[in-house]
Structure formats: C-alpha cells, structure tokens
C-alpha cells in the first residue's frame, strides 16, 4: 500500500477514535 495513503487512513482513524466513546468504538469493532 502507498505509505502516504496509509498515513492518511491512520490519521482519519485516529480522529474518528478520539471522537468516539471507548465503548462505542469497541462495539463498532
């Protein structure tokens, strides 16, 4: 996978995770 794309995806995932309650995140996964 393109490294820049991977970084962008991880940054987006981190942003989503920080906006989510821990219990909600666990439920999604």
Average pLDDT over residues 2-29: 76
Residue with the larger pLDDT of the pair 27 and 7 = 7
Domain interval for residue 17: 1-29
Tell me how many domains the chain contains: 1
Residue 24 is predicted with a pLDDT of 66
Within 8 A by CB and 6+ apart from 17, the residues are: 25
The 10s digit of each residue's pLDDT in 15-28 is 877 766 666 656 66
Encoding tokens for residue 16?
């989503």
What distance in Å separates the CA atoms of residue 25 and residue 14, rounded to the nearest whole number?
11
What confidence category does residue 4 fall into, taking pLDDT thresholds of 50, 70 and 90? very high
């Amino acid at each position: 996978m393109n490294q820049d794309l991977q970084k962008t995806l991880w940054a987006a995932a981190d942003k989503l995770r920080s906006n989510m309650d821990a219990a909600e995140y666990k439920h999604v996964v």
